[in-house]
Amino acid sequence: MELTVQGQTVYAHTGGQPFDPAKPSVVLIHGAGMDHTVWSLQTRYLAHHGRSVLAVDLPGHGRSDGAPLAGIEALADWVRDLADAAGAPRAALVGHSMGALVALEAAARHSDRVEALALLGIAERMPVHPDLLAAAIGDDPQAIELVTGWGFGPRGHVGGNTAPGLALVPTSRRLMRQAKPGVLGVDLAACNAYTRGADAAAAVTCPALFLLGALDRMTPAKAGRALAARVKDSEVVVLPGVGHMVMVEAPDATVDTLAAHLNTH
């Protein structure tokens, strides 16, 4: 599905079902250097179980036009405009990593538009090591190796994907290599600069699920729990044996947990 948001053509995957604003809407927001494909299983499941889904490619990512936006706050306002373009007055937001910060900030800034949150791989602060940030800004291929290497738990490095023949780390590496020049650097800089996590969490008025990986080395589960404690109505689920890439390392558990949260709220 293509939409026009802030004057640019944007792509969002709808899970094989037409987007119907009359149904409960869900927007899924990917992390740094990625696109909508990281949500493949979740998108399809939700779309075939009573929800209208937009698994979006953020500006400059995947099949969306434009340049990547340089700040979490700007992306949060962009998500509101995306919902407007789709004709969805209210939606649940599901975000991973950078996308989780975007969803959190959007819920804080536009509380009347967000009915539920699900945040995967999140912490109050997401500082990026200066060497990694410099490598990403300079389009050094080593930046992708570092992100994929640290992003997956042990399962991602030795196999075990539920889809036969699909290896997690090589697939993630290939996805990030397809990104436009400069995208990963802009995204990581946005994460590094964002300091409003605690304030945004305190301002959230909707129910929020924190879905965390027990072996996450980028945003440790301890940090996710601490942020969840700042949200008035929060639930924490920690998946054992899972790293930062929660939805691709444990796709079935992610679907089950998301569906239960969204059906409850």
Mean pLDDT of 211-238: 98
Could you give the percent of the chain with pLDDT greater than 70? 97
Does any domain span residue 136?
A: no
> Looking at this protein, which amino acid is placed at residue 41?
L
3-class DSSP assignment, residue 263: helix
pLDDT 10s digits, 150-198: 999 987 887 666 665 668 899 999 999 999 999 999 999 999 999 999 9
Q: How high is the pLDDT of residue 164?
A: 56
Does any domain span residue 155?
A: no
3-class DSSP assignment, residue 166: coil
Q: How high is the pLDDT of residue 163?
A: 62
Could you give the percent of the chain with pLDDT greater than 90? 93
Does any domain span residue 153?
A: no
CATH of the domain at 231: 3.40.50.1820
Contacts of 110 (CB under 8 A, 6+ apart): 76, 77, 80
Which residues sit opposite 26 in a β-bridge?
53, 92
CB 117 within 8 A of CB 107: yes
Q: Which of 118, 126, 3, 116 is nearest to 56 (CA)?
A: 3
Q: How high is the pLDDT of residue 220?
A: 97
Range of the domain at 241: 2-126+194-264
Range in 12-21, 63-72, 167-176, 197-206 with the lowest mean pLDDT: 167-176
pLDDT averaged over the chain? 95
Distance CA(261)–CA(14), nearest Å, equals: 20
pLDDT 10s digits, 20-30: 999 999 999 99
3-class DSSP assignment, residue 13: strand
Distance CA(204)–CA(233), nearest Å, equals: 8
Does any domain span residue 142?
A: no
Does any domain span residue 199?
A: yes
Residue 223 has pLDDT above 80, yes or no: yes
Residue 47 has pLDDT above 60, yes or no: yes
> Looking at this protein, which amino acid is placed at residue 117?
L
Q: How high is the pLDDT of residue 160?
A: 63
Distance CA(52)–CA(17), nearest Å, equals: 8
The number of folded domains in the chain is 1
Mean pLDDT of 38-60: 96
Does any domain span residue 164?
A: no
Does any domain span residue 90?
A: yes
Distance CA(96)–CA(109), nearest Å, equals: 18
pLDDT 10s digits, 201-222: 999 999 999 999 999 999 999 9
3-class DSSP assignment, residue 88: coil
What global pTM score does this model have? 0.96
Mean pLDDT of 36-42: 95
Q: How high is the pLDDT of residue 109?
A: 97
C-beta neighbour count of 103 within 10 angstroms: 31
* Residue located via tokens 């991973």: 96
Does any domain span residue 13?
A: yes
Mean pLDDT of 68-85: 97
